[in-house]
Amino acid sequence: MTHWIFTLAFFGLVVSGVAILLAHPRFYWGETGGYGAASLFDLPLPLVLTGQTGWGRSLHFLCAWMAVLAGLVYAVSVVVTGHFGRQLLPAPTRPRAAEEGAYNVLQQLTYLAVVFVVFPMAILTGLAMSPAIASVVPQAVTVWGGQQSARTVHFFVADLLVLFLLVHLAMVIRAGFSSRMRAMITGRIASKEPR
54 binds other proteins (CB under 8 A): yes
Going by C-alpha positions, the residue among 191, 129, 120 that lies closest to residue 161 is: 120
Hey, CA dihedral for 7, 8, 14, 15, is it positive or negative? Answer: positive
Site string for other proteins, 57-86 (x = CB under 8 A): xxx-xx-xx-------x---x--xx-----
Residue 145 beta carbon to other proteins: minimum distance, rounded to whole angstroms: 13
Footprint of other proteins on 144-173 (CB under 8 A): 147-148, 151
Amino acid at 25: P
Q: Give per-residue burial for 54-80: e unless 16+ CB within 10 Å, then b.
A: eebeebbeebbebbbebbeebbeebee
Helix (H) or strand (E) holding 26: strand 26-27
Q: Does 124 bind other proteins (CB under 8 A)?
A: no
Q: How far apart are CA 103 and CA 132, in angstroms?
A: 41
74 vs 111, beta carbon nearer other proteins: 74
- Closest distance of CB 45 from other proteins, Å: 12
Residues that bind other proteins (CB under 8 A): 1, 20-21, 23-24, 26, 31-37, 49, 51, 53-55, 57-59, 61-62, 64-65, 73, 77, 80-81, 129-136, 138, 141, 147-148, 151, 187
